[in-house]
Amino acid sequence: MVDPKLSVAERVADVAATYQLQVTGHAASAVSVVISEDVLVVTLHGALSDAERSLAQSPEGARRVQEFHREMFAHSSQQLRDQIKEIIGRPVTEAIAEVEPKSGSVIHAFSSGTLVQVFLLGESKGWPDNCKY
């Protein structure tokens, strides 16, 4: 059960982290959530197992890890989608999972017919003064 005192983003992060652990048996080290008008992006940092990170060192291995996570998400994400609908109050009409093998991050993007481009950033040195967010 998700704590109702948490923000919407924190509640989504909690259910996404729980989903990741239940489906893969490996907990993410951190979860980031970005919610905009029609798009929700969940990034599970450090979400790959040691074996997956090792396999992803080669291009073919990285492709296999990416495909495995895409297929697993496509076939097992309905409960997560239902929980997101309960939290946000809107149905998830599209969902995709993508793996960044070098960082070990797994990205879940949920949208309503919108093109979603996700950019994982390098180490933070703070936001530039001219950055509007």
Ordered per-residue pLDDT tens for the chain, 133 residues: 567 788 999 999 999 999 999 999 999 999 999 988 888 999 999 899 999 999 999 999 999 999 999 999 999 999 999 999 999 998 898 888 888 888 888 888 876 666 666 666 676 665 455 444 3
CA 94 to chain centre: 14
Helix (H) or strand (E) holding 34: strand 30-35
Rounded CA gap, 45 and 29, in Å?
6
User: Going by C-beta distance under 8 Å and a sequence separation of 6 or more, which residues neighbour residue 116?
Assistant: 39, 41, 96, 109
Rounded CA gap, 82 and 93, in Å?
11
Rounded CA gap, 62 and 39, in Å?
26
Tokens of 78: 């309905």
In sequence order, the β-bridge partners of residue 45 are 30
Domain regions of the chain by residue span: 8-111
**71 within 8 A of 79, measured Cβ to Cβ:** no
